[in-house]
Structures are given as C-alpha cells and as structure tokens.
Amino acid sequence: MRGIYGPRTDTGEAHGVRSLIDTILFDVGGTLRTRVPDESLQRRTRQRLVAILGSGEDPDMLYDRLYPRYKAYSRWARENLVELPEAKIWTRWMLPEFPREQIEPIAPELMVLWRERSGPAVLRPGAHETIAELDRRGYRMGIISNSNSSIELPPYLEACGLARYMQVVHAFVYARATQARSRDLLAHHAGRCIRIPVSARTLAIRFSSTSSDPSARA
C-alpha cells in the first residue's frame, strides 16, 4: 500500500528492533475499502431516493437530474478546498427546488444513499487480516477520513469487524484532505483524541489517491 509514513531511525522489526512508529491512522476510501459496481444495488438506491423524497418521479430521471448537480458541487468543493455539511449540499446544490424544511432532516440519509450509487463498499483483500495482525503486534490504530457523510462510517466499521481495533474514528466532514495543511489538521485532531503526541516518528498515515468524485473514495 502506498502511504505517508514518518521517517524511521531504527533497523525495523525484521532485525529485532521495534519500529519507532507505534500508532497508525488509516484513511478509508481507496485504502481499506473500495466500491464495486452492482447494478441491482444502484437500482434499489435510486428507488429509495424517490421513496424518501416522496416525489413519485421516475428514479432514473431523478438520478439524471442529481448527477450533474453533484459534479458541479464537487468542482466547487475542490476549488475551494471545503466540504459542506450534508444539509447544505442537499438544500443548496442537489435539491434546491424542494422545501428546506423537508430536505434538511433527511440530508444525512440522502447522502448515504447517494454514496451507494457507486456500488457497495467492500474491504480490500487482506485489509482485515492486516489490521488484526497490527493489533496483535501492539500498534494503536484509528481512522481519519475526509467524508461527505457524518453517519455512514461507524456502522460500516462495525459491520465489517474493524471497529474494535480502532481507538478513534474521525470522519472529517467539513474539510478536505487534499492539501498538506488539511492532512496535518486531521492527524493532530485524531492524535488528541487518543492522547498521543503527533510527530513524524510516531505516526503513520495513508491517504487515498485524489479523485474528481469524493464519494467514490469513501
């Protein structure tokens, strides 16, 4: 796996000396998991979007209207290096023609469904075994991930059996991890949560590659 790691001044565990890195913070999308196409799930997701909205319109027509709006939002977010809360994404960008009071309460659920349009999130091969082995070796672990969903990640980690290994799960919804400063902010926040001094010698971080669609990385 590609990653960003602190420099090591030891000779490594292979030579009988424990690494100076004792805490590992993982990104999620593109690192621990990926999304795979699933036409049946995508079809059900579109139908559920219509059902939640109560609009009664054709699910494919709704998707065709939402997709270019989300692309426009994604371009704006990349240019401004900001990730809006779900309520603002859906009331300002995705469904501005709907009453705000209708959309705001269901925006988190709408965002989870929208993320599923890319297919189900599945663990990468060997991810669970790797995390379990790192835990066995005594490493502390956590999650830091820029995300446009405030509710999706914790249940997913529980379902795939990774939650028990993670001392902190920090989905940074309102900023992007595409710039070095943002990555530092994510790392320092997570470090404070598990009471570790964040330094290059004690922290290992992996971020996924950039993508034009942030939900594809989640």
Angstrom distance (rounded) from CA 215 to CA 218: 5
Residues 134-192 have pLDDT tens digits of: 999 988 888 877 667 777 888 889 999 999 998 877 555 444 444 444 455 555 555 55
The pLDDT tens digits for 52-103 are 999 999 999 999 999 999 999 999 988 887 888 899 999 999 999 999 999 9
Is this structure's pTM higher than 0.85? no
- Number of residues written out for the chain: 218
User: What distance in Å separates the CA atoms of residue 110 and residue 90, rounded to the nearest whole number?
Assistant: 8
Q: Is the pLDDT of residue 200 over 50?
A: no
| CATH fold for domain 4-35+123-217 | Rossmann fold (3.40.50)
Encode burial over 14-50: b for 16+ CB neighbours within 10 A, e otherwise. Answer: eeeeebebebbbbbbbbbbbbbeeeeebbeebbebbb
**What 3-state class would DSSP assign to 73?**
helix
Domain with CATH 3.40.50.1000 in the chain: 4-35+123-217
